[in-house]
Amino acid sequence: MKKLIIALLISFASTSVFAGSHSPCGVTSGSINILANEFTTYRIFMDEVKSCAGPDADFNVTHSVDHNKLQVAALSANPAEFSAKLVTNGSITPLMNDGLIRPLDDLVAKYGSNLNENQKITIDGKIYAVAFMANAQHLWYRESILNDLGIAVPSTYEEVIAAAEKIKAAGVMDNPYAGAFKSGWNLGQEFVNMYLGHGGEFFKSGSAQPNVNNEKGVAALNVIKKLTELSNPDFLTQDTNAVKEEWESGNVALMHIWNSGAASLLDDEGDQDIKADTRLAPSPTVGGGNKPATTLWWDGIAIATNTSDENAEASFRALVGAASSTDLANNNPNATVWLIKGYTPGDTAGPVVDAASRGTTPYPSFPHMSLMHGALSTELVEFLQGNESAEKALADVEAAYIAKATEQGFL
């Protein structure tokens, strides 16, 4: 009896200390099944999620570079195929469009006391996601190669092109520049960066009508064309992971890829000479603009609507445990820019912080943006191959977008 009273007292004391802040980790009931993109930082994050879930939890995670294509179908099913999804400001909109992720206010109130206020992604006053990292594409360069040729670190794309031409002319490398130009999502993203860098707007204000076939669009395409001419001729087949391989093979001196690439480029595997020579720089501006030609991204956690409350709670606990783990952030300071409380940014956070401080546009979160991105993904290839003019390519983008947006009910 005495023991029971002590136990009750202790549990009472602990609940009063942690009022409104149940410890999230150590999940014992409900099953956790997460869909996530595939790159090193996410792997590191998921290890933490798994250890937070604890050994008794029913824990599954599916990493796939095709997560964007899978998510709507997988979460539309009832019960949903996955209880949780790692989302970004790009991939959250299709889920929001169909009401496939649930408001998290209750769960945040219960388990989220260690979250920063800016981690809470609120839409129309409700929390729909909890962000844990910020990401952006920016410039990477090989210091020794630039130094040998007396090239200053480029701060505009015009300088990037001049630098790459100089490296090529000096015979150091045949294809000194690299970017993720793979036809499909990656190529679309390159245009998004460059178009926003020129100050473009994707839609006519207040409507879903496309607005890319203009001077800014043409200028953006011409810069991309120049960059691809300084890239590996196979550029249309190279995604971010392929570009990283090129970099690690020492074939490239300048590239524009994700900050989170540091997790694999600066690890202990691969050629350490190249690693020691790798430097990160802010994303360049373009065409006299003042904003870097890149987009800001947050990555966060979201919970499926069509899953049981028990599974939702279990998944949220494990994920939010990792998303508020100061240890995770400070043990891997260079894996990305964590938004977690108590995080001291590592050496590689600079370019993302720089992008944010210079007013870089976050990736547009219009409900119809994914259709625009899809049209950009397929219609720009012929221009890059020199088979059609920039104006024609952009007219094709708009036409393809209009056909799809009409079918989806946006126009």
Partner 1 sequence: MPHRTFFWFILPTALAMILFIGLPIVSSFFQSLHIENEQVLMEVENCDPFGCTTNVRVDVEATEKIEAENPLGRFNGFGTYTDRNHLAFDEIIEAWDNKSSIGEFKDIVLNLPFYKALLFTLTFCFAVTPPVIVLGFIVALSVNTLAKSLKGLIVFGTILPMIVTPLIGSLVLFWMIDSQGIIGASIQILFDDPNLSLKASSNLTWITLIIYGIWHNTPFAFVVFYAALQTVPQDPLEAAYIDGATRFERVRFIVIPHLYPVATFIMLICLMDNFRVFEPIIGFSAEGVAQSLSWMIYQDLRNENKMLFGSAGATSMLTILGIAFLLTPVLIRTWKEFKTER
Tell me how far, at minimum, the Cβ of 6 lies from partner 1, in Å: 44
**296-303/254-258 β-pairing:** unpaired
Distance CA 59, CA 56 (A): 9
> Is there binding between residue 216 and partner 1 (CB under 8 A)?
no
60 or 237, CB closer to partner 1? 237
Give the helix/strand (H/E) hosting 342. Answer: none
Q: Is there binding between residue 269 and partner 1 (CB under 8 A)?
A: no
What is the Cα–Cα distance from 167 to 176, expressed in whole angstroms? 7
Residue 172 has phi, psi (to 5 degrees) of -75, -45
Looking at the Cβ atoms of 15 and 118, the one nearer to partner 1 is: 118
Q: Residue with structure tokens 């210091």?
A: 143
Classify residue 259 by its DSSP letter: G
Backbone angles phi, psi at 9, to 5 degrees: -60, -45
Give min distance, CB of 247 to partner 1, in A. 14
Nearer to partner 1, 22 or 392 (CB): 392
From candidates 108, 149, 274, 381, binder to partner 1 by CB under 8 A: 381
**Residue 182 is a binding residue for partner 1 (CB under 8 A):** yes
Instruction: Tell me which residue has tokens 């136990």.
Output: 7
DSSP-based three-state secondary structure for 225: helix
- Closest distance between partner 1 and the C-beta of residue 211, in Å? 15
- For position 342 contacting partner 1 by CB under 8 A, the verdict is no
| Helix, strand counts (H, E) of the chain | 18, 10
For partner 1, the closer of residues 89 and 213 by Cβ is 89
Please state the closest distance from residue 89 (CB atom) to partner 1, in A: 6
Is residue 407 a contact residue for partner 1 (CB under 8 A)?
Answer: yes
Beta-strand relationship, 177-179 and 254-258: parallel
d(CA 385, CA 378) in angstroms, rounded, equals 13
Pick 315 or 377: Cβ nearer partner 1:
377
Q: Which stretch binds partner 1 (CB under 8 A): 44-52, 161-169, 213-221, 367-375?
A: 367-375
Q: Which of 128, 131, 161, 347 is CA-nearest to residue 259? A: 347
Does 350 interact with partner 1 (rule: CB under 8 A)? no
Residues in the site for partner 1, rule: CB under 8 A? 66, 68-69, 71-73, 89, 91, 93-94, 96-99, 118-125, 131, 134, 174, 182-185, 187, 208, 232-234, 236-237, 296, 298, 339, 356, 362, 365-367, 370-371, 374, 377-378, 381-382, 385, 387-388, 392, 396, 399-400, 402-404, 406-410
